[in-house]
Structure 1
Amino acid sequence: MNQALLLPFLSYAIVTTITPGPNNITATSAGIQLSYKKTVPYLLGISVGFFVIMLIAGSFTSYFTSQNDNLFSVIKWFGAVYILYLAFIPFINVKNKKNKSLNKNYSFITGFGLQLINPKVILYGVTIYSSFTQLIGGSNIRVVSSAIFLSALAFVCTSIWAILGTTLSSYFENKTFSLVFNSILALLLIYIATTIILI
C-alpha cells in the first residue's frame, strides 16, 4: 500500500463526491420538496447503488492491473488526464443551469437505479480505482473496504446537499462566490492529478 497516495485519494474522493452532479442535484431537489427524514430512503438508494458501481469498478481494475504491470502506468495517466479535465469543466460549462427536469419519485429504488445510468459515478469509479490502485486495489479486502468508505462518503455528501441545498443554490447565484469556489476545487484537482503522475 502506497501511503503517499492517501491524501490525494481522500482529496479527490471528497472534492468529486461533494461537487454538483445528478446525485447531489436530485438530493437538493428532494430536500427542497420533502423533509430530510423523508429523503433518507432515496439517499440510501444512492449510497447502495454507488457501492455496487465502486465494487464492480474496483474488481475490474484490480484484475486487469494485476495481469499487466505496464497497464497500470497507462491507466494512471488516463486517470490523471480525466482529473485535469474535471478541474476545467466548471469553467467550460458556466452557462449551464439546473437540469430541465428532475425525478420527483424519491424512493430507494429510484436512488439505486440512478447509479446504474449515472455517467459521473461510473467514470468516477473507473478513475479512482485506476488512479489509486496501489492504495485501494490489488486485493478483495481493499476493494470492498474502499467501496464501503466511498459509498458512505456519497451518503454524507448527498445528505449535505439535501439539508443545505436551497441555501447553497442561492449562494451559487453569486458569480463571485461561484468563481472562487470552482477555482479552489480546480486547484485541488490539479494538485491531485500531478501527484498521481509523479508517484
Structure 2
Amino acid sequence: MPLEQLLALAGFVVVMTGTPGPNNMMLLASGANFGFRRSLPHIFGITVGCQILLVAVALGIGQLLSLYPLLDSVLKVLCGLALIYLAWTLVRPTKVLPASGEVKVARPLTFLQAAMFQWVNPKAWLMMITAIATYTEPTAMLSSLAVIALFFAIIGIPCISTWNLFGATLRVFLQDTRRARLFNVTMAVLLLGSMYPLLR
C-alpha cells in the first residue's frame, strides 16, 4: 500500500475503534465495574473476534469484487455513504445521559463471549466490510488483508483499552455537552478523511 493509503487506513482504524459503539460501551462499563485486569479477556476477545470476521468477510466479498468490478464501485459508493452517515451521527447534537442510564453488568465478558459478540455487532460488520472494500486490492488481497489485520491489532487494542482504563473518567468528561460535541466533531472529520481511498 502507498503511504497515503496507509495513513488513511490508520485514521479509519482510530476512528472506528476509538469512537462509541457496542464494544466500547461494554468496555466502559466493564472498566468501571471490574477494572482493567479482569477485563483483559474481553479486550482480547474483541480483537480476535474482529480478526476472524475480517477474514470471513474477505473470503466472500473479495472474490465477488474480483469477479465483478462494477460491484466494487457500487460497494465503495455504499461504503462512502455509510461513512458520511456515521460522520453525521457524530456531529448531531448530543444529549447528556441521566445518571440512571448507566450500564451495570454482573460480570465481565469472557474471551469467547466477546469474540462471538462480533458476529452480531453491526459496527464490527460495517468496519470489516468497509475496510475490505476500501483498503484492499483484488490483485493483492492477501497482503492488503494482512496489513488491515495488523493495523486493527496494533491500533485497535490501545484504542479499545483506553475506554476500559479511563471509562469512568471518560464518561464524566463526555457528559459535558460542549466537550462531547468537540470530541465528536473531531472524530467525524477523521472519519471523513478516511474516505480518501474511495475518491481516487
User: TM-score range with shorter-chain normalisation?
Assistant: 0.7 to 0.9
- Structure 2, unmatched stretches of 5+, are none
User: 2:28 maps to what in 1?
Assistant: 28
User: 2:70 maps to what in 1?
Assistant: 70
User: 2:45 maps to what in 1?
Assistant: 45
- Number of residues paired by the alignment? 197
Q: Is the contact made by 1:27 and 1:158 (CA closer than 8 Å) also made in structure 2?
A: yes
- Output one character per residue of 1:111-146: Cα deviation in whole Å (capped at 9) or x when no partner: 112111111101111111112223x98322432442
Once structures 1 and 2 are overlaid, which stretch shifts more, 150-159 or 176-185?
Answer: 150-159
**Within 2, Cα distance between the matches of 1:22 and 1:137?**
34
Change (3 A) 1:39 1:149: same
The answer to whether 1:125 aligns with 2:128 is: yes
Identity %: 24
The answer to whether 1:172 aligns with 2:178 is: no
Which of 117, 136, 140 is the aligned partner of 1:138?
A: 140
Output the TM-score relative to the length of structure 1. 0.87
Once structures 1 and 2 are overlaid, which stretch shifts more, 152-161 or 165-174?
Answer: 152-161
**Within 2, Cα distance between the matches of 1:182 and 1:75?**
26
Change (3 A) 1:40 1:6: same
**Within 1, Cα distance between the matches of 2:182 and 2:139?**
34
CA drift of 1:149 comes to 3.1
User: 1:106 maps to what in 2?
Assistant: 109
CA drift of 1:177 comes to 0.4
- Output one character per residue of 1:142-193: Cα deviation in whole Å (capped at 9) or x when no partner: 3244224314433222211110111111110111101111111112222332
SS at match of 1:162: helix
User: 1:6 maps to what in 2?
Assistant: 6
SS at match of 2:20: coil
Output the TM-score relative to the length of structure 2. 0.87
User: 1:89 maps to what in 2?
Assistant: 89
